[in-house]
Amino acid sequence: MQTAKVKKTDIGFMRDIDINDYDYNLPPDRIAQYPVEERDKSQLLIYKDDKIEKDTFINIVEYLPPDSLLVFNNTMVIRARILFHKETGAVIEILCLEPVVPSDYALSFGSKETVEWKCIVGNLKKWKRGKIVTPFKYNGNQYNLYAERNQPEGDAWKIGFSWNNPEISFGEVIEATGHIPLPPYINRDDETEDIERYQTIYSSIKGSVAAPTAGLHFTANVFEKLKTRGIKSVELTLHVGAGTFQPVKVKNIYNHEMHREHFFIDTKTIELLFENHTKIIAVGTTSVRTLESLYWLGVRLIQNPSGTSHSFSLGQWEVYDIETDFSVKQSLGALLNFLYEQNLPYLEASTSIMIVPGYKFRITSGMITNFHQPRSTLLMLISAWTENRWKDIYTYALKNSFRFLSYGDSSLLLR
């Protein structure tokens, strides 16, 4: 095994990153409240060779480099927003973030016994003590879902859920009781249409409380065009948390606490990334964060190849402490060797990585993404990718009637 060439770097430059430099005026009427009628008829901004142009998303294949490998996040949005009405008339809103007991998503959704989740609770002051209850219907019969407040965890709470039918799984319960958790900047209640439209057509693994919105524009027609052009695709899973909407409330970005998200990627996908490591286009910022985290987890394995119990959790600023000459193939190769030796079909990990201007992208060769909120960590990721050309891109989008945020239009950002 090659000896790691690593040296510490000064991450002090991040202390000079002022969130006020990542602000812009976003008129409320430019925030899309509904999706376009047809997914692939949204507008597409293309940024390539420092030039900006526009088209319709259905034509995106015309702008993708030949032999690209598109990386999709196949997470599925769950009906994570549950409303409980108290006898006093007060409404308690519970937003399920991630499972605690059992901690595995599939096991929690499949459980027919009490489960515990980390949740955000709205109108908490009206919930003094005891269980709260909400009725739900399943197969024509009415049952009750109960929630019990256990203990706080930061700004969230651990909430125990139980229900009065042992034949129904928790996944079935929240499908019957919950609402689609639309982002806070969509100023309306969720509607029937959102069940389908706030979901990618390839979503398959339950766990997100927000959609990986870059993928909302893809249709069967677009996939057929990609196939005809010989553009390959793979899938990974990163469950999007509510932290993706968390505003940056501090002036100095170094003091912002980044949210953690869980991801899963199988061995075959990592093999394809290894084989196509110079042609990888990430569909969405969630895919970007997963791919870049993957590189650094591989570097960690190279540095400690004899470790038998590896921590596959990446910290917020951890990668900025390391300067390395390891290639993408070396990093992904180390991950593959580990998975082969441990006979693991997939890698399960979590990341809190925060990508800000000054970050050097390792695996990502291009990205497809929507337009993001002012003063957000996602906008700083875009700034890092475009080497601070984000203002030109967003000014163009505003002047050319692009729709913004989750249900808005799309962009293809290439170097």
pLDDT (tens digit per residue) in 56-103? 999 999 999 999 999 999 999 999 999 998 888 899 999 999 999 999
In terms of domains, do 19 and 168 share one?
A: no
Q: At residue 29, does pLDDT exceed 90?
A: yes
Final residue of a structural domain among 150, 178, 206: 178
pLDDT attached to residue 248:
83
Backbone angles phi, psi at 101, to 5 degrees: -135, 110
Higher pLDDT, 6 or 9: 9
* 184 in a structural domain: no
Q: Which two tokens stand for residue 187?
A: 């100023």
Specify if 193 maps to a domain: no
pLDDT confidence of residue 308: 47
Assigned domain for 1 exists? no
Distance CA 138, CA 136 (A): 7
* 40 and 91 belong to one structural domain: no
Band the pLDDT of 307: cuts 50, 70, 90: low
Q: CB neighbours (10 Å) of residue 360?
A: 11
- Residue 8: pLDDT over 70: no
Residues 400 and 359 in one domain: yes
Which residues partner with 135 through β-bridges? 144
Q: Provide the pLDDT for residue 9.
A: 46
- Domain-located, residue 172: yes
Q: Are 248 and 261 in a shared domain?
A: yes
Residue 14: which CATH number?
A: 3.40.1780.10
Q: Encode 295-304: b = buried (16+ Cβ within 10 Å), e = exposed.
A: bbbbbbbbbe
Question: What residue numbers bound the domain in which 100 lies?
Answer: 80-178
Identify residue 65 by its one-letter amino acid code. Answer: P
Which stretches within 32-113 are classed as H helix? Answer: 105-110
The answer on 386 and 294 residing in a single domain is: yes
- Do 301 and 270 fall within a single domain? yes
Count of domains in the chain? Answer: 2
Asked if residue 190 is part of any domain, the answer here is no
- Collapsing DSSP states into helix, strand and coil, what is residue 176? helix
In whole angstroms, what is the distance from residue 364 CA to residue 355 CA?
Answer: 12
Give the mean model confidence (pLDDT) for residues 296-317.
Answer: 82
Q: Please report, in angstroms and rounded to a whole number, the separation of the first and last CA atoms in the chain.
A: 33
pTM beyond 0.75, yes or no: yes
Distant-in-sequence, close-in-space partners of 403: CB < 8 Å, separation ≥ 6: 30, 31, 32, 36, 42, 43, 409
What is the reported pLDDT for 14? 60
Give the Cα separation of 324 and 326 in Å (integer).
6
| 163 and 243 assigned to the same domain | no
User: Which helix (H) or strand (E) element contains residue 293?
Assistant: helix 285-303
pLDDT for res 388: 87
Which pLDDT value is given to residue 3? 36
Among the listed residues 372, 27, 35, the one whose alpha carbon sits nearest the alpha carbon of residue 182: 35
Judge if 297 and 404 occupy the same domain. yes
pLDDT of residue 7: 40
Record the tokens describing residue 77, joined without a space.
Answer: 């949005």
Task: Determine, yes or no, domain membership for 189.
Answer: no
* pLDDT given at position 219: 98
Residue 305 pLDDT level (bands cut at 50, 70, 90): confident
In a domain, 17, yes or no: yes
Query: Which of 178, 209, 237 marks a domain boundary?
Result: 178
**What percentage of the chain exceeds 70 in pLDDT?**
95
Q: Are residues 96 and 52 in the same domain?
A: no
**Residue 155 pLDDT level (bands cut at 50, 70, 90):** confident
pLDDT bucket at 2, cuts 50 / 70 / 90: very low
Residues 295 and 156 in one domain: no
Q: Do 100 and 147 fall into the same domain? A: yes
Evaluated on CA atoms 23, 384, 8, 291, the torsion sign reads: positive
> Does position 309 have pLDDT exceeding 90, yes or no?
no
Q: What is the length of the chain?
A: 415
Q: Which residue among 178, 211, 242 closes a domain? A: 178
Tokens of 125: 């002051």
**b/e 146-178 (16+ beta carbons within 10 angstroms → b):** bbebeeeeeebbbbbbbbeeeebbbbbbbbbbb
Residues 63 and 99 in one domain: no
Residue 224 vs residue 321, higher pLDDT: 224
Beta strands (DSSP E) in 182-320 are 205-208, 232-238, 261-266, 280-283, 313-314
Distance CA 228, CA 171 (A): 37
Show contacts of 60-64: CB within 8 Å, 24+ apart: 60/222, 60/368, 60/410, 60/412, 61/222, 61/225, 61/226, 61/228, 61/229, 61/231, 63/412, 63/414, 64/226, 64/229, 64/231, 64/281, 64/366, 64/412
